[in-house]
Amino acid sequence: MTKRALDLIFPQELIKEPVIHQMSKKFDVVFNLRRAKVTDKVGEIVLEIEGETDALNKAIQWLKDRGLKVEPITHDTVES
């Protein structure tokens, strides 16, 4: 199993959509929300995802295809 930390930026049109839940079910990955800030215009979530490497890569690409900005972050950033 592989674990990755990500910074996700949601566009306004996806803020109320269960994107993270859909990703988890579709790609059989486990997620842990570490931090979130959501306004009416944008959402930012720091997320850890864990699963098989291929599933993680596909899940990250799926998020990007949905219109999210996805940036990898270091574990130290998540902990602070």
The percent of the chain in helix, strand and coil, each rounded to the nearest 5, is 40, 40, 20
CA dihedral of residues 68, 72, 75, 80 (deg, nearest 10): -50
46: its two tokens: 């720091």
Q: Which runs of consecutive H residues, i.e. helices, occur in 3-73?
A: 19-27, 53-66
Q: How many CB atoms lie within 10 A of CB 11?
A: 13
Q: pLDDT tens digits, residue range 11-51?
A: 999 999 999 999 999 999 999 999 999 999 999 999 999 99
Task: Give pTM, 2 decimals.
Answer: 0.88
Q: For the structural domain made of 2-79, what CATH number should be given?
A: 3.30.70.260
Q: pLDDT tens digits, residue range 53-78?
A: 999 999 999 999 999 999 999 765 55
Question: What is the reported pLDDT for 78?
Answer: 52
13: its two tokens: 């049109």
